[in-house]
Amino acid sequence: MQYSTRVLVVGTTADYIDWIRRSCPGRALFLTDPTVRLEALDPRPTPIEEIVCDLSDYSETRQALEQRLSSEALHLDGIASYDCESMELAAVLAHEFALSYPSVQTVNNCRNKYLSKLLWQRHGLRTPRSRLIRSTADAAAFFQQIGGPCVLKPLNGSGSELIFSCDSERACETGFEKIINGLQQRRTNRLYKSSSTDGPTVLAEEYIKGSEFSCDFICENGDVRVIRVTRKVISSRGPFGTARGYLLSASLPDEIDEQDLIQTLCQSAAALGLDRAMCMLDFIVHESQIVLLELAPRPGGDCLPFLLRRCWNLDLLKLFLDFSQHRPIRIEKPPDPPECLGLRLHARHSGILKNIDAGKLSTNARVREVHFSRRPGHLIRMPPDDYESWVLGHVIMDPDGHTELEAQCQALIDKLVVEIE
């Protein structure tokens, strides 16, 4: 029997699926959760390209995959997951189908924010002091212990969802209660699935002041290849930690020493058990030191793939597939590319999206791309109730190099016409 080869893409969004189908036609087989198809704006793949099933049910997913591979004479030569909530499933399937991917334990090391920090500390890497907390009293006690501001967040999760900055014991107690309530509302959400059903679900960590960055890199055989380093533009108006945008530069920021970065990337991945992976790392630079926050064995999301494709002609999603299938990796950027800014568009309040118009925004000479991920009729629920529905799209622009970045972002956002009722 003649088999056709595919790379298995485990649990990603409809826009990523459409992107991959266009840039890598015929290469991928998608495992998709039914929730992805509920509000998908992008065209649905053909039946041979996609399996839609409950990805929280590993047994059902494996059976559906085996049936499709058999019925269509397909063979898997790689596996990739772009979403944190699907990485454990990818690890399970990789083991069962003898594919190269981080182990379940390694994925748990990355997904569990407390465990990550413990492992980094044991390997001499700088990361915020942290503690698992079970009650409001624990939260207040941690604030007393470190003698200053702290951050509360779910043990699992990603982005700025359910993350609270606390500058007092009372704020710690309130933040803890909000996270517990938020997790209760999200109890069926795969993103917050924990390997422990009875352990603490909230992490308290020391607040570190400094510039925040995001980095994609490849680690393999003890070597590191940096794909990109972007400075985060943190919003002062939205939920704590919300990235309003990402600044992409050809050279490293002045705060970061290249050799220190390479060594830290290598050590941070190895400490979590990663020996071959494409990774995304969030970190802060504080007093010239890299302070590690979170690492995931996947490339960065948000508007970052769009930013790299538009400004450097680098297809990050395709690069991850190439890596997963052990194909040659080429990381190239234009000679002396100018700085470029990816700006995320957020709704100002809840309601039904009636109209969104970028007419004035699109005519700005510095705007390279405007992308909307929502259409009229979309229901917007603001954080902390929902951290996804308030994201409306993104803008890619050339910064002016003189004005403070957040001010530039706000000036552009003010040109966007958004009607919500």
Torsion of CA 205, 83, 396, 375, to 10 degrees: -110
Residue 1 has what pLDDT? 44
Residue 200 has pLDDT above 90, yes or no: no
DSSP state of 339: P
143-158 mean pLDDT: 88
CATH 1.10.1040.10 fits 211-420, yes or no: no
How does the average pLDDT of the chain come out, rounded? 90
Which residues does 18 contact at the CB level (< 8 Å), separation at least 6?
42, 43
Residue 3 has pLDDT above 70, yes or no: no
Residue 80 has pLDDT above 80, yes or no: yes
186-202 mean pLDDT: 69
**Structural domain boundaries of the chain?**
4-101, 129-206, 211-420
Instruction: Match 């400075």 to its residue by tokens.
Output: 231
CA dist 128 and 125 (Å) reads 10
Contact 415, 364 (CB under 8 A): yes
Query: Band of the pLDDT at 250, cuts 50, 70, 90?
Result: confident
Residue 195 has pLDDT above 70, yes or no: no
Residue 376: both structure tokens together: 């009229």
CA dist 316 and 57 (Å) reads 29
CA dist 224 and 235 (Å) reads 31
4-17 mean pLDDT: 93
DSSP of 313-338? ---HHHHHHHHHTT--------SSPP
Per-residue model confidence as pLDDT tens digits over 12-21: 889 999 999 9
Per-residue model confidence as pLDDT tens digits over 380-396: 998 888 888 898 999 99
Per-residue model confidence as pLDDT tens digits over 324-368: 999 999 888 888 888 999 999 888 889 999 998 888 787 888 889
Contact 229, 257 (CB under 8 A): no
Least confident of 41-55, 56-70, 196-210: 196-210
* Cα→Cα distances 160→88, 280, 283, 349, Å: 21, 15, 14, 18
Residue 192 has pLDDT above 70, yes or no: yes
Fold of 129-206: Dna Ligase; domain 1 (3.30.1490)
Per-residue model confidence as pLDDT tens digits over 278-305: 999 999 999 889 999 999 999 998 899 9
Ramachandran sector of residue 157 (left: φ over 0; alpha: ψ -120 to 50; beta: rest)? left
Domain 4-101, what architecture? 3-Layer(aba) Sandwich (3.40)
CA dist 346 and 226 (Å) reads 30
